Amino acid sequence: MKFQNTNIPGVILIEPKVFGDSRGFFFESYHAEKFRAGGVPLPFVQDNCSKSAKGVLRGLHGQSPHPQGKLIQVIEGEIYDVAVDARRGSPTYGTHISVTLSAENRHQLYVPPGLIHGFCVTSEAAQVQYKCTELYHPEAEFSVAWNDPDLGITWPTENPILSEKDQNAPCLRDVQERLVPYES
């Protein structure tokens, strides 16, 4: 397994070692000791799975209090995955990282607590599975506009399919009271 740090502290791209032959393939999608050694904090307490059609954009979402770290992987299709540093006082506050995660490349992305996260489906459909470091608390969830001009995210679509909540989400500058402080 290869663990690659990114330009945002705590965000780690994981590339599993895949063993394949004429029968198919095998890889470890999670191994607590290897992930801990690779810089991914533990434990994970909840697993989630979603399936979405092409053009669906889910995000940008955060949770405070009880911020969640997320380990994201795609088990069907392909997504354009985005994590934005929304930790108050972070040296990379307001910057984002975007990666393509797919069932084909089998890459995973660890997004630490305090970042906001979203993805857009670029294949006909995508099934996304992710582990969380904190339980979901609906009253703590908040959204940030996917097209917040201050964030400068170039999404792979100009007219995404959005939930009502995401259609009406405010800009990051308008949710400062929801953000958690940066802890180095």
Catalytically active residues are 61, 130
Q: Which helix (H) or strand (E) holds 164?
A: helix 164-167
The residue assigned the tokens 């991914």 is 40
Contact 61, 136 (CB under 8 A): no
The residue assigned the tokens 């092409």 is 54
Phi then psi for residue 83, to 5 deg, are: -125, 130
Which residue, 25, 128, 27, is CA-closest to 76?
A: 128
Q: Tell me the three state secondary structure of residue 33.
A: helix
